[in-house]
Amino acid sequence: MADVVEMFGRAIDALAARDPDQGRRLMLTGLRLFGLKLRHLPDRRLPPSRQYSAALINRTVCRMLAHPEQAALVSVFQPCELLEAMDVIPMCAELFSAFVNGCGAESAFAQAAEVEGIAETYCSYHKVLLGSAFSGLLPAPKLIVNTSLVCDANNLTFRTLAEHYDVPRFYVDVPPRQDETALRYVAEQLLALQGFLEEQLGRSMQEERLREAVARSGRTVAALRACIPEKREHSLPGDLTSEMYEIYLSHNALGSSQAERYAAMLLDDLKAAPRARGIRLLWLHTIPIWQTPVKALFDLNDRYQVIACDMCMESLCEVDPERPYESMARRLVFSPWNGGQVRVDSSVRLAKALGADGVICFCHWGCKQTMGLSAVLKNELEKAGFPTLILNGDGCDRRNASDGQTATRLNAFLEMLEGQGHG
Say if residue 148's pLDDT is above 60.
yes
pLDDT for 3 equals 56
Residue 365 · residue 393 · CB < 8 Å: yes
Residue 44 half-sphere exposure, CB side, CA atoms within 13 Å? 2
User: CB-based burial of residue 197 (10 Å sphere; 0-12 exposed, 13-18 middle, 19+ buried)?
Assistant: buried
Which pLDDT band holds residue 23 (cuts at 50, 70, 90)? Answer: confident
Mean pLDDT of the chain: 93
Q: Which residues, listed in sequence order, are joined to residue 74 by a DSSP beta bridge?
A: 92, 145
Q: How far apart are the first and last CA of the chain?
A: 32
CA 81, CA 8: separation in Å to the nearest integer?
A: 35
Evaluate if residue 296 carries a pLDDT over 80: yes
What's the pLDDT score for residue 392? Answer: 93
- Using pLDDT thresholds of 50, 70 and 90, give the confidence band for residue 5: low
Lowest-confidence region among 110-124, 199-213, 363-377: 363-377
Q: Span 320-336, mean pLDDT?
A: 96
What is the β-pairing status of strands 169-172 and 143-147?
Answer: parallel
Q: In what order do the strands lie in the sheet with 71-74?
A: 89-92, 71-74, 143-147, 169-172
Q: Letter for the amino acid at 254?
A: L
Q: If you average pLDDT over residues 311-327, what whole number do you get?
A: 94
Per-residue pLDDT, 21: 85
| pLDDT > 70: percent of the chain | 99
d(CA 87, CA 65): 16
Whether the predicted pLDDT of 308 surpasses 90 = yes
Is pLDDT at 329 greater than 60 in this prediction? yes
Residue 1, pLDDT above cutoff 60 = no
SS3 226: helix
**Which runs of E-coded beta strand occur in 49-168?**
71-74, 89-92, 143-147
